[in-house]
Amino acid sequence: MKFFALLFAVALLSAQSKSEWVYFGPDHLLHYKTTERGDRILDFSSAGYRGGGVPLPSLPVVRKLSPIKGDNTAQIQAALDDTAGAVLLTPGEYEIAGTLAITRSNVALRGDHAIIHLTGKPHRFLDIRGSGTWATEGDPAKITDSYVPSGADSFHVAGASGFHPGDHVLIQRPVTAEWVHFMGMDTLVRDGKPQTWIKPGSVIRTDRVVKSVVGDRITLDVPLPDPLDAKFTAATIVRYNFPGRLHEIGVESLRITAPFEDIPITGPQFTAFRIDAVEDAWLRDIDIQETQNGVTIGAAAKRVTFEGVRIAHSASHSGAAAPADFAIQGTQILLDRCAVTGEGTWPVVTQAQVTGPNVVLNFTADHAGVSPHQRWATGLLVDGAKLPGSTERKQGLAFSNRNTAGSGHGWDIGWSVGWNVTSPFLLVQQPPGAMNWCIGCTGKAVKLGDTPTGTFDSPNAPVLPASLYLEQLRERLAR
C-alpha cells in the first residue's frame, strides 16, 4: 500500500505545472523571474499576526460573563474597559443594542457557545481601534535610487546614518500629475464631469521597520510592493511613532446574527467589525449572519490575521453599490480560510492606496470573489481561492481598470497575484508600467475592450508550490 501511495504522490506532483515567474530550483527553494527593471513577485510571507508564522495566542481568562435579559452592551463594555486578558462570554444568547469598543491593548473577547444578536437600530457590533495616527519624527530623508523595483527590500538614502535597526518608518511616495497622466487616469469623465482618480499631491505611505543600515543602504523588514521611480516621484523615508496604536487584541469563537436589512450603501447598517490603529491582532472562528459591509479594516491596521471568519447571507442585497464583506486597507493583513455564502455582496475588496503584502489564503465564496475596488492598491496575493459562483460580470478574480466606475475608481490594483485560484471567470489586466499575474489559475480569462491583459502563466494547470504564501513562509522561517 505504501508503494502505491508513493506512486500516487509522484503522479500527482508530475501533473503539476511549473510557473515561469516563481519556481523551485535545484536547491528546492523558490526562484523568481524578474522584469528588465528588476521587478519580481513579492514575498508575501510577512502577512498576518506578528509578521506571519506565529501561532495565534490565547490570553488567559480574567472575566466571565453570563447573558442578562435585554441589552448586554453595558456589562460587556464595562468588562472590556477593566480587563487585561480575555473576557469570556459563557454559553447563551446576548442581545447587543449598541456598539462595543476595545480601546486598550492586551484584551480579547472570547465566546464559549455564545450567540450575539444585534438588536435595535442598525449599528456595528465591535470597534477595535486605537487613537491618533502616525506622528513623523525629524525630516524625511531622500531615497536616491533612480528606480527601486517592486519586491525589493532595500535602497540607498541620503542621510541613512540617521536611521537605526528597529526604527518604525514610513516610505512616502508623493503622487504627481506626471504619474497620473502616465497611468491614463487624468482624462476620466463621467456624465460630462471630470473624475479624480488620485489627486496629485497625495502621498502613498508604506509602513515598515528598519532591519539594517549599512553605509547609505537601508534594508526593511518587509519588501515594497510598488516600485519607486524617480521619473515620477521623489520618494522619502521618515521615522514615526504611533503611541495610540493598540497591540495584542483578539476576538474568538463568536456567533453574530443581525436582522436582514437591505439598506442603501449610505444608510446606517448592521455591521460586525471595524479594525484600525491596531498592530498584531487576530479574529478567529467567527460566524456572522446578515451584516452589510461586515468587516472593515482601516488604513492604520497592521499584522492582523482573520482565521476561519465566515459570513453568510440568506437574502440578496440590492442596489448598484453592493456592500463588501471584507474591505481591506492596512498592510500585512491575512485572511486565512475565511468564507462568504449568499449573494448580493462583494466578498473581498481592497480600498484606495493600500500597500501590501496582504494575503487572501484558501478563501471560498459561492458567488463573485476578490475584487479590488478603487484607486491603486498594490501587493495582494489571492492564494488557493475556490470561487465557483462567479460570472462574466462579477468575476472570481478582478484585477482591473474600473475607469469611471463609482467616482473615478480607475486602476484598482497593481503588482498583485492570483495563485492556483479556481473560478469560472478571471479578469486580470495589466496597468501601465506595472504587472498583475494569474498563475496556475483555472477558469476563463475575461477580456474587456482594448485594455491589456495581465500575465496568465500556466492557465488551467495548477503549479507548485500548491500555496505560494505557505512556501514563502516556510523558507523565510527556515532561514
In a domain, 29, yes or no: no
Is 284 found in the same domain as 258?
Answer: yes
Residue 132's alpha-carbon distances to 104, 166, 245, in angstroms, are 13, 21, 7
Tens-place pLDDT, residues 346-405: 999 999 999 999 999 999 999 999 999 999 999 999 999 999 999 988 999 999 999 998
Residues 6+ apart with CB under 8 A from 132: 242, 243, 244, 245, 277
Is 457 found in the same domain as 415?
Answer: yes
* C-beta separation of 204 from 173 below 8 A: yes
CATH number of the domain encompassing residue 170: 2.40.30
Closest of 396, 460, 458 to residue 428, by C-alpha? 396
Q: Specify the pLDDT at position 265.
A: 63
Closest of 202, 154, 194 to residue 177, by C-alpha? 202
Is 220 found in the same domain as 119?
Answer: no
What domain range includes position 411?
A: 49-131+244-478
SS3 428: strand
Run of H or E residues at 399: strand 397-399
Is 223 found in the same domain as 363?
Answer: no
> What is the model's pTM?
0.95
Question: Can you read off the three cell numbers belonging to residue 427?
Answer: 479578469
In a domain, 8, yes or no: no
Is 271 found in the same domain as 331?
Answer: yes
Residue type, 347: P
CATH number of the domain encompassing residue 321: 2.160.20.10
Q: Pick from 241, 276, 309: which residue ends a domain? A: 241
How far apart, in whole angstroms, are the C-alpha atoms of residue 84 and residue 271? Answer: 26
How far apart, in whole angstroms, are the C-alpha atoms of residue 68 and residue 156? Answer: 60
Q: Specify the pLDDT at position 5.
A: 44
Is 154 found in the same domain as 59?
Answer: no
Q: Scanning the structure block, which residue is given the C-alpha cell 508503494?
A: 3
In a domain, 2, yes or no: no
SS3 471: helix
Report how many domains make up the chain. 2
Q: Specify the pLDDT at position 9.
A: 39
> Which of 438-468 are b and which e, b meaning 16 or more Cβ less than 10 Å from the residue's Cβ?
bbbbbbebbeeeebeebebbbeebbbbbebb
In a domain, 340, yes or no: yes
SS3 11: helix
In a domain, 57, yes or no: yes
Q: Pick from 185, 220, 241: which residue ends a domain? A: 241
How far apart, in whole angstroms, are the C-alpha atoms of residue 334 and residue 173? Answer: 24
Closest of 206, 213, 200 to residue 172, by C-alpha? 206
Q: Specify the pLDDT at position 275.
A: 98
Tens-place pLDDT, residues 87-125: 999 999 999 999 999 999 999 999 999 999 999 999 999
In a domain, 36, yes or no: no
In a domain, 6, yes or no: no
Residue 52's alpha-carbon distances to 56, 151, 237, 334, 476, in angstroms, are 10, 17, 24, 8, 10
Q: Is 478 exposed, middle or buried (0-12, 13-18, 19+ CB in 10 A)?
A: exposed
Q: Specify the pLDDT at position 287.
A: 98
Residues 6+ apart with CB under 8 A from 467: 361, 362, 383, 384, 419, 420
Q: Specify the pLDDT at position 479.
A: 59
- DSSP label at residue 130: -
How far apart, in whole angstroms, are the C-alpha atoms of residue 444 and residue 424? Answer: 6
Residue 326's alpha-carbon distances to 19, 233, 251, 438, in angstroms, are 29, 31, 16, 21
**Ranges of residues in the chain whose predicted pLDDT is under 70:** 1-15, 263-267, 318-321, 479
Omega before 225 cis (within 30°)?
no
User: What is the torsion angle, in degrees rounded to the nearest 10, for the CA atoms of residue 382, residue 196, residue 147 and residue 477?
Assistant: -30
Closest of 338, 281, 305 to residue 52, by C-alpha? 305
